[in-house]
Each structure stands twice: as structure tokens, then as C-alpha cells.
Amino acid sequence: MKILVALKQVPARDSLLRIGAGGCWLDEADLSYEINEPDAYALEAALRLKEQQGGEVVVLTAGPERVSSSIREALAKGADRAIHIEAEGLEGWDALGLGRLLAAAAAAEKPDLVLTGLQSDDAGSGQTGVALAELLDLPHATIVMAVEAAEGGVRVKRELEGGWFQHVSMPLPAVLTIQSGINKLRYATLMGIKRAKTKEVKRVTAAELGVAAAPGLRLKRLYQPQRVKQTQFLAGTPAEQAAALVEKLRFEARVL
């Protein structure tokens, strides 16, 4: 089974987010980056499927030079090779545009299964995988918690709201958007890190793929949310803060 994993590099979770000049994106100067959380689980799911069934895991990522570090990490964990769509300024692309970009590279690979994360931690549109499925004319399922091979296709467990789940089957090839936490992530071994250096990373540009930016949805301005609720912040040392809070909870909120 050939499995393509769409992997996005995003600012690390505890990053201090500062708005950049122009007010449309972050000041990237001091940011560190990591693999988008659900994408790491998608990669893990792909590696497990390959271990069960054989085949190949190909990483697909679009972004500037810095995403090479995430590609290396994925290869070190066991992906067989990678496709790096080299592109700057993708934060200005909407999910349809990104879907077109990824689809152009994915179509040529003719994968049996495409796994994406269900949502990115930065843009968070939760759409790129679904758009990609439509553009490749493949069936899809979202918020996937488990994947099993079934007669002529896959059977997946989908998460629904409020603690409900549902199984859905579909033929292959298909696109699945993977939820965080569905498996235990592996660490790269030293051997894996060494091997990664010899693995193929194919580089292509958006122009070579014949895809141009044509945003239908434009981000005009990025800013700190306005506060509407008046939170009472308690000051002082931890002991003082604790004592003040107990006072408030007893005599103001009356919940003790």
C-alpha cells in the first residue's frame, strides 16, 4: 500500500506569537517550528499500516526551506521518501489553493491512501484534507480515530460530537483526516536519523506543478483578540494569590 502523508510545519506550541510588520502574519524571526500535532499522528498511523501490510510511506509538505527539518524528522521516524513543494508565503493561500497545490503533487504519485491531519494549529481551517480529497476525486472521512483494512477498502472509526463514534467504510484510494491522540508516537532512533540522510527528497515548485496563488479568501489583518470579559487577575506571590482567591471564592462568588 502506498500511503501519502500531508505534513505541515507550524510554530511550536508554546511560541510567543508576535504580529509581524504589515499586520498580516507573524514576526517569524524568533519562532521555532514543529510538525503540526495531528499530522504527527497521521504519520504514525501510516507507518503502522505499512508495518502491517507492507508498502511505502511518502511525506508531502509545502513550505519554505525551514520545513526541511520536519521532513528529516519524518524520514528519521521511518517514512521512505518525501516530496517538498518549495513555496514562500503560503500563509496567504486559502485551503482550496493549498489543496490544489498538494493535489498537483499527489495525483502523480497515485497513492492508495492519503492521510492528513484534521486541522492545522496555525491556520486551523480544518479543510485542506477534505479539499484535497475532492480535487483528487477520492472519497474521504474526517476526524478519524482508527483505520483498519477491509474488503476492497478501509473501515475507519470516526469521532462524532459529545462522546459518540461511528464506523464508516469506503473503497481505496481514499483520503482520511486524522485526529490527535489516536496512537502513541514513536521517537526517531539514532539508526533512523542516520538512514534519513540517504533518503530521497524530491523538490518541486508551485510553478513546476502549474499552480498559482489565487486566494478566494484573504486575511486582511491579524491581531490579539479583544477581551470582552473582565477577568479579575489576582496579584502577589503564589501564597498571596491563593489566599486572595480563596477569599473571592468564599465571599464574592460564594462557591465554597
Partner 1 sequence: MSGILVITEQSGGAWHRVSQEALGAGLELGRALGVAVRACVYGSGASVAAAELAAYPVEQVIALESPLLEAYTADGAALALEWLVREEQPEVVVMPHTYQVRDYASRLATRLGRALLADATGFRVEDGAAVFQRQLFQGKLTGDFVFETPGPNFVSVQAGSFRAPEAGAAAAAVETRTPELDAARIRQTPEAPFREADRAVDLTAAERIVAVGRGIREEGNLALAQELAEALGAELGASRPICDNGWLPMERQVGSSGQTVAPKLYVAVGISGAIQHLVGMKGSGCIVAINKDADAPIFEAADYGIAGDLFDVVPALTEALKKARG
Ligand X SMILES: Cc1cc2nc3c(=O)[nH]c(=O)nc-3n(C[C@H](O)[C@H](O)[C@H](O)COP(=O)(O)OP(=O)(O)OC[C@H]3O[C@@H](n4cnc5c(N)ncnc54)[C@H](O)[C@@H]3O)c2cc1C
153 neighbors 165 (Cβ within 8 angstroms): no
Rounded Cα distance, 173 and 185, in Å: 25
The only residue of 83, 106, 118, 131 in contact with ligand X, by rule CB under 6 A: 118
Euclidean distance between CA atoms 40 and 180, whole angstroms: 8
Q: How far is CA 142 from the centre of its chain?
A: 13
Confirm or reject binding of residue 61 to ligand AMP (CB under 6 A): yes
Binding span for partner 1 by CB under 8 A among 47-55, 69-77, 128-136, 194-202: 128-136
- Per CB under 6 A, the list member of 78, 97, 129, 173 interacting with ligand AMP is 129
The interface with partner 1 within residues 40-99 (CB under 8 A) comprises: 94-97, 99
Q: Which amino acid is at 24?
A: C
**CB-based contact 59:71 (threshold 8 Å):** yes
Instruction: Give the three cell numbers for residue 51.
Output: 508495518
117 in contact with ligand AMP (CB under 6 A): yes
Q: Quick one: which of 1, 3, 4, 7 contacts ligand AMP (CB under 6 A)?
A: 7
Show Cβ contacts of residue 150 under 8 Å, excluding neighbours closer than 6 positions. Answer: 169
In the complex, minimum distance from the CB of residue 49 to ligand AMP, in angstroms, rounded to a whole number: 16
Which residues are at the interface with ligand AMP (CB under 6 A)? 6-8, 36, 38-39, 60-63, 90, 95, 98, 102, 116-117, 119-120, 123-129
